[in-house]
Amino acid sequence: MAELMKAEVTVSKEAYELGIALGKVAVAVKKALADGVQVSDAPAMLAVLMTPEVMAGLSGLEKMGDEFKESKAAFVAAFAVAGVKVAEEI
């Protein structure tokens, strides 16, 4: 087993929020389609698009290019940290 250590990571705000939003959508779709594709799945998948996390993630899309230019490491770390958080929900 690998030895682990804690490290503080700085992430880009908008990229992190988008990562969380994409994860929330992916989890909702996965749950809705767990028993196959059905028309009754549509409301659950659409409802997740209106949650505060998803709305926050989408609201900062226009700032993504600037965040990436300012700090590529913080931008990439944002998606990695968000991905771990989402994976823990699955």
Domain map (residue ranges) of the chain: 13-89
Q: Per-residue pLDDT tens for 20-75?
A: 999 988 888 888 888 888 888 888 888 988 999 899 898 988 999 999 999 999 99
User: Given pLDDT bands bounded at 50, 70 and 90, which one contains residue 18?
Assistant: very high
Q: Does residue 90 register a pLDDT over 80? A: no
User: pTM of the entire structure?
Assistant: 0.81
- CA-CA distance, 60 to 62, in Å (whole number)? 6
- CA-CA distance, 18 to 83, in Å (whole number)? 10
pLDDT score recorded for residue 16? 94
User: Given pLDDT bands bounded at 50, 70 and 90, which one contains residue 1?
Assistant: confident
For 41, the token pair is: 């799945």
- CA-CA distance, 12 to 49, in Å (whole number)? 22
- CA-CA distance, 67 to 65, in Å (whole number)? 5
